[in-house]
Structure 1
């Protein structure tokens, strides 16, 4: 009875985010769009096996859908952070709807060849590339923080539920009415999402500062990721996982058609079995997190599950072991992917979330694109079976190799109650100059530190450097007075006065605790001295 109650509790936790109306509305609409996307992917993959059945061309269908994310993720994330997110998402869905409709019409008319199919697949991928960072950054707006992890998992469940039914629907639609009907169904599903976004009433956060400039926003996003160890760890481990698992996406159509001798309905059902494994795992995630309490252990365990699935698919000559392989692969994919995305979400504050998630997606979709092409080439050179076995072996080895990159954030240490450095207010006569944002701002903090605390102070300042860079600094340096070793100067610069004003709002409690620990080294009474200087042309 106790075990049954635990399972019921886990199921209720799995669905908890759906009690929030806005999340529920967009979750169902996104489910419809994802079903359409999988119908389209099934149609494109199967159509290519008829237009040009070479492993390279079949794998290029997956590469064409993923390459736009590699090219557009960073600018898409920057745009999603500085433009009203609802309007941005509406424009992205309108683009996909238009392209998907054109693809259906051209296929129906018989005017589409293999390279035309790749072109339209690429264009639909462009719309998805614009959509992904904004959608990921929207989730924390729709649910409270305590529901965020499961909301991300529910998004994964929805994606994989669509994977369970979408390919099967696509296979049967193709068998009954042709690939043009599958493409038309995709267009209709994106129309559903577009209408739901029109009904969503988003309250945009108010800010007294003007929006960031586009190029500056991209630079700030890159600096944040470069200075964030947790984000770098999520990116590295995601790249390792997705590079090797891309072998399934690139080679599964050939496994089904050539190795198993089955038709499009069976291809759709294989993808559906994978989706079923992912959905079941998604519902079990709250329970699994009690057995694998750290994100790193969860990713390692299910990376190994995916490796086993790759190997089993490689040696399968019958549909039954191949279906078992796809079931395991779906479980590994959902658990690892949703855990990695949750780690990336928790590592990013709201002001930079879409950009950082865009960079994260740029890296792992780039890894998937490279993996799809590489394993397609390996299938051509060495055969599909050997390519999948090589991917399986390398995946397991690399999963162990990167397990030391921590995905779990360290607990925030309590900030000491010390006076913090406060620069003087700017002179009134410089107000118009500062408002013009015509020069960089150099910020200075002067510390007086007991020489016996030198090593401890340097350790804290290494953390302070990452805090300054994450919050917008374009350069940082720490100077020690050679005549007075107790005197230190911390210098960093930002692109403009407005960027300087944004700094305080970008600091989270962990950042403020680091800066407070640095100020606690000040001796002689009072806080460290702070000042700001504006770069001017002589």
Structure 2
């Protein structure tokens, strides 16, 4: 009797039918997106071959994420996410059709190409955080890291196929063919989203508004060491590696003297290597932690750019692209998984948006900077400078660890009684709401002076919990006459924002608060109170 062939670990998330359908549809849209990018980059070399304008095609693709990611992430957290995704795809479809029509009629110029590329990038900027946050709804937690890696594999499989197909489409029927095929691909994703019927999650806490949601997202990220580390490591990696995206068309056309087919195949080599590396990631994760994985991937990317800087034959350039593709998927998927695992559900799209805002912003900067260096000093020097800078940066940020997972189950322990403030007085209830003004929250502790050091250590994490949940201006005071007495103070923007705090606490947050409360001395739990700001 033949034994069943085990499913490779990289493919396990595909056993969930909804995730599988949307993953395949997203794969089709990503293939179309890479065909569009290939067509836009190659068309610009015909409209205006200056290194600056060619590199600005990539900058125009990535800059919208820098500008729109945070409001897009906030909207994705507070509105119907499926409808939000549908509107984003519809926008991209419309812009792709306009670009195809203008190119077909020879009515497009270099600045018009940049404007429509920016418009398509704006749709992608709206889509990215919503789709990334949706992954958690499509697979159980045990498959989440695998699903994130599989998204990266799909993205790079599209990178392997899309540019090659785009290159052949350009050679066969011109850049307008690549743009039209991109529109068809996004139509497939729209149909898949229409077929998806997500379960409506119960809302916890009052409904958020855009500005307050953005502010809460920024506070969460600033108070989350794991998110800050992931963002810093991503910025240093993508700032230098962006040089390849900005300069590859010129590397192929000028340095190697090749045509659009070779341009597509170079990108295909990179994408193929990225897919292969994605399959190897589950095994790599079992041997190396995430911080070390990103470090070695960064060094591999620097080596790849160094090889491309030296290349005057397609073989050496292709080897550089293979190594670059492996480093890109390894570092990118690992960093993305770290960012998603560090963000709870209520803020996930916003946190991912801030993460994407950061690295897409530095990619736009890196692409434009490499274009300027390439135009002033030549493509080889620009790639060489990026290789050296990337290696130095990898060593510089190595100490920022991205391995701590803020959403792991809290340690099992008998939790002490938590402070519960008194209910609001009846005569003040009418003043409490979204426009109540600031609320001062107070918790009073009595701690044995011998436990002072332990209490201060516990309160360091309590501070981060309060800030992640939306608080600001956190303070801790010790009574100079009675050293056992402590007062914790923090501010929130309104009574409604105060009510949202409880819904935002994760199990780890509650465990941190419990550790501080356990050091309180007395039969009653720490005393909690709330004060409404009043203008005299």
Normalised to the residue count of structure 1, the TM-score between the two structures is 0.96
Q: Deviations over 1:84-117 (max 9, x none)?
A: 1000000000100011100000111111111110
Root-mean-square deviation (CA), in Å?
1.4
Partner of residue 94 from structure 2, selected from 92, 98, 103: 98
Identify the residue that residue 497 of structure 1 maps to in structure 2. 495
239-248 or 402-411: bigger deviation: 402-411
Q: CA deviation at 1:12?
A: 2.0
The answer as to 2:378 corresponding to 1:378 is no
Is the partner of 1:230 in helix, strand or coil?
helix
- The corresponding residue for 1:188 is 184
Q: Which of 343, 348, 357 is the equivalent residue of 2:343?
A: 348
Conserved in 2, the CA contact under 8 Å of 1:416 and 1:513? Answer: no
Secondary structure of residue in 1 paired with 2:286: helix
2-structure distance, mates of 1:201, 1:13? 27
2:383 counterpart residue number: 388
1:104-503 → structure 2 map (5 Å cutoff): 104-207=100-203, 209-292=205-288, 294-409=289-404, 412-415=410-413, 417-435=415-433, 437-503=435-501
| Residue matched to 2:521 | 523
SS at match of 1:409: coil
Which runs of 4 or more aligned residues in structure 1 lie more than 6 Å from their structure 2 counterparts after TM superposition?
A: none
Q: Partners of 1:420 and 1:210 in 2: how far apart?
A: 22
**Distance of aligned partners of 1:523 and 1:89 in 2 relative to their CA distance in 1, 3 Å threshold:** same
Segments of structure 1 that go 5 or more residues without pairing to the other structure are: none
**1:45 matches 2:44:** no
Q: Is residue 478–residue 485 contact of structure 2 (8 Å, CA) maintained in 1? A: yes
Query: Displacement, 1:427?
Result: 2.5
Q: 2:12 is matched with which residue: 11, 16, 27? A: 16
C-alpha deviation, 1:380, in angstroms: 1.4
Partners of 2:203 and 2:131 in 1: CA distance: 21
Q: 1:444 to 1:66 in 2, by over 3 A?
A: same
* Partner secondary structure for residue 291 of structure 1: coil
Distance, in Å, in 2 between the alignment partners of 1:349 and 1:442 is 25
In structure 2, runs of 5+ residues without a counterpart are none
Distance 1:432 1:204 in 2: 31
Is contact 1:250–1:376 with CA below 8 Å preserved after alignment? yes
Q: Measure the CA separation in 1 of the matches of 2:130 and 2:306.
A: 35
Decide whether the 8 Å contact of 1:43 with 1:171 is kept in 2.
yes
**Conserved 8 A contact 1:437-1:496:** yes
The number of aligned residues is 530
Q: Secondary structure at the match of 2:144?
A: helix
1:470 Cα offset (Å): 0.0
Take 1:501 and 1:190, find their aligned partners in 2: how far apart are those partners?
40
- d(CA) in 2 for partners of 1:301, 1:309: 12
Corresponding residue of 1:84: 80
**Secondary structure class of the residue paired with 2:432:** helix
- Asked whether the equivalents of residues 434 and 497 of structure 2 are also in contact (C-alpha less than 8 Å), the reply is no
1:277 and 1:330 in contact (8 A); partners too: yes
What TM-score comes out, normalization by structure 2 length? 0.97
Contact 1:39–1:182, Cα closer than 8 Å, also in 2: yes
**1:467-522: CA deviation from partner (whole Å, max 9, x where unpaired):** 00001102211111122121111011212222222211211111111111111111
Displacement after TM superposition at 1:361 (Å): 0.6
Offset at residue 207 of structure 1 (A): 1.6
